[in-house]
Amino acid sequence: MASEPLFSRRNPWFVISVSLTAALVLLVAALGMILLPYAQKDIKFAGIWDAICSAAGVPTARSASAPIEPGFKTSDVVLTSGMLSHPPAESIGRGATIALQCAICHGPSGVSQAQSPNLAGQYASVVFKQLQDFKSGARVNAVMTPFAVKLSDQDMKDVAAYYAYLPRLPGYHPASDQPQPRIVINGAPLRGIAPCGSCHGRIDNKTGSPWLEGQSAVYIRTQLEMFARGDRRNDISQQMRNVARAMTPEEIQQAADYYASQSPTGIHTTMR
């Protein structure tokens, strides 16, 4: 008995294999082009076609002419690499006076004992941006928001200049000889996670990214968890939200513990 040709609709194996392949292609396309875009909590689409175009990286005429605004306040602070880099002495002095109100949480010398971030030696652009975001509502905190709304732009520049002027002190985080976690030195390229040092480097950093050495492990872990949940959304272009969502709880804890064990000055010092 003669067998049916391989590529024939009368060949049941050919029909089944083509059908299964087509179904798999449609399923993958639906997942990648429709379901995954809609799974992003912070993005709204005008319709399915808008979601497909977004996944394909092709802007639609509708999205170009009438962008869909997010349902929350976003950061509108514009930073440059040389911003606030050479403040006058008068600005530092005014900032020191204003910063007296900050001492209860951030310490009288900018080094916190209350699990708040250490601000001594922090980049001026970082302090300025966060104060602006607290004031605008892009970042919300029960303590910081009421304080920031009373500050003028010049007040924020002065406070930022003062904290940037202070020396970075080791704080109250004991030194440790633990090796750098892989998530810190290598990131996780397959999950889209860059090494932490590519933005938060000790020698150079991405404008607007804070230095992390010597910060409280509780604070770092809390902020990463808030980014992952979408409770904190003042990172421009979602760079920190995308990273934090892809990190495991163990990696978040490892990164927090590692940075908390590092001396901001680059020299391990144990506070006694």
Low-confidence ranges of the chain (pLDDT < 70): 1-4, 41-42, 59-68, 170-178, 203, 264-272
pLDDT at 9: 75
Instruction: Give 271's contacts (C-beta < 8 A, 6+ positions apart).
Output: 170, 171, 172, 173, 174
- CA-CA distance, 76 to 24, in Å (whole number)? 43
For the entire predicted model, the pTM comes to 0.73
Q: Measured between alpha carbons, how far is 108 from 235 in angstroms, rounded to an integer?
A: 28
Q: Do 157 and 204 have their domain in common? A: no
| Predicted local distance difference test score (pLDDT) of residue 267 | 44
Per-residue model confidence (pLDDT) at position 80: 87
**How many other CB atoms are there within 10 angstroms of residue 29's CB atom?**
12
Check residue 33 and give its pLDDT. Answer: 78
Q: Is 202 left (phi over 0), alpha (psi -120 to 50) or beta?
A: alpha
Q: Which residue in the block uniquely carries the two structure tokens 């500050």?
A: 151
Per the listing, tokens 């995308």 go with 242
- On whether both 199 and 244 belong to a single domain, the answer is yes
Best CA proximity match to 163, nearest among 106, 206, 88: 106
* 119 and 60 together in one domain: no
151 and 106 share a domain?
Answer: yes
Kindly state whether residues 155 and 188 are assigned to the same domain.
no
Angle at 226 between CA 225 and CA 228, to 5 degrees: 65
Whether residue 103 is found in the same domain as residue 60: no
Q: Which of the listed residues 165, 199, 216 is the one where a domain comes to its end?
A: 165
Question: What pLDDT, on a 0 to 100 scale, did the predictor assign at position 171?
Answer: 47
Predicted local distance difference test score (pLDDT) of residue 83: 87
pLDDT of residue 175: 56
Res 67: pLDDT = 63
φ, ψ of residue 230 to 5 degrees: the values are 85, 10
Helix axes 153-165, 89-98, angle to 10 degrees: 100
Q: How far is CA 76 from the centre of its chain?
A: 15
Q: Is 8 exposed, middle or buried (0-12, 13-18, 19+ CB in 10 A)?
A: exposed
Is the residue at 76 inside a domain?
no
Tell me which residue range forms the domain holding 44.
Answer: 14-65
Task: Tell me the three state secondary structure of residue 193.
Answer: strand
Does the residue 75 lie in any domain? no
**pLDDT for position 247:** 97
Say if residue 58 is in the same domain as residue 24: yes
Q: Using CA atoms, how far apart are residues 120 and 170, in angstroms rounded to an integer? A: 10
> Which value, in Å, is the radius of gyration of the alpha carbons in the chain?
25
Per the listing, tokens 């689409």 go with: 45
Residue 126 within any structural domain of the chain:
yes
- Would you say residue 84 lies in a domain? no
Q: At what angle do helices 217-229 and 249-260 cross, to 10 degrees?
A: 150
